[in-house]
Amino acid sequence: MSDEILTGEGVALQISAASVLVRAGAWLIDAVVIVIVMIALPLGVLAAVGTDRLDPAMAEAALMLMVFVAFIVVPVATETLSHGRSLGKLALGMQVIRDDGGPVRLRHAATRGLVGFFELWLLAGGLAFMVAMFNDRGKRVGDFLAGTYVVRIKSRPRSNTPLWLPPQLATWASLADIRPLPAGLALRARQFLGRAHQFPPFVRYRMALRLSAQLERFVAPMPPWGTPPEEYIAAVLFERRRRDQESFDRRQPRLQSHLAAVDVLPYSVPDPEN
């Protein structure tokens, strides 16, 4: 089952919990990158310092530092700065989010990274796989402790279907009393009109009927007898937007005059900049 989140940029995000196998694929991609880094870093250090100047204690300290940076610091920094996306997750269209749907922060990424070092690397992913198999969101131990889970995200531009006014409802709409609509109801009605063509006819009619019944509490009088509920919704939203636009246009001259008055000094004091 997937959920949809509508962002402020007008992008609808279809999200669903990522499967264990897909997460394993992302982890393998990240593992390959880390292994390449772990091979390239020592070679670069040896080439820069030279084998004759590197004693065993310094080599051991450098190796521990590289392990800490490659397996903990880099994954934590990457997830924090990218809001939950490592290279593997980005390649497979996944992202780490909080249980409430919000973006992950440093403490979430740090918890996942520290726990992940043990359950993914020291235990070869065995513990993470077993835990993820027995919960519906595919969480590993680090996800439970951090309050996060991994989702697959499919982004698509939201269809901006223009509002329309049925001609037979034009007279009624111009005379109707439309009270302010709750933001949630107005948004649901607008999204329904934009996606109505995607629903089967029976589902489309039932959804329109339910939304029109909710709108009737804020609109008077009732539309003409026999008006289809979808046309009623379209007429209400169209007329509501038209009135809002007219109100905005009426306020513009007054607003411009107020803004112009702000730049004028009182008591005819000359402006030193002019």
Query: What mean pLDDT value characterizes the chain?
Result: 81
Task: Check residue 250 and give its pLDDT.
Answer: 85
Indicate the pLDDT class of residue 9, thresholds 50, 70 and 90.
very low
CA distance 86 to 27: 9
What does DSSP say about strands 11-17 and 148-157: parallel, antiparallel, or unpaired? Answer: antiparallel
- Average pLDDT of span 218-232: 93
Say what the pTM is.
0.51
Task: Check residue 31 and give its pLDDT.
Answer: 87
Q: Which residue has the tokens 């020291």?
A: 122
- Average pLDDT of span 240-250: 88
Task: Check residue 251 and give its pLDDT.
Answer: 82
- The single-letter code of the amino acid at 102 is G
- Average pLDDT of span 58-62: 75
Token pair for 269: 């004091």
Cis before 221 (ω within 30): yes
Asked if residue 1 has pLDDT above 50, the reply is: no
% residues pLDDT > 90 (the chain)? 25
- Average pLDDT of span 21-50: 80
Token pair for 28: 């393998």
- The count of other CB atoms within 10 Å of the CB of residue 96 is 24
Identify which of 92-106, 118-132, 188-202, 221-235 has the greatest average pLDDT. Answer: 221-235
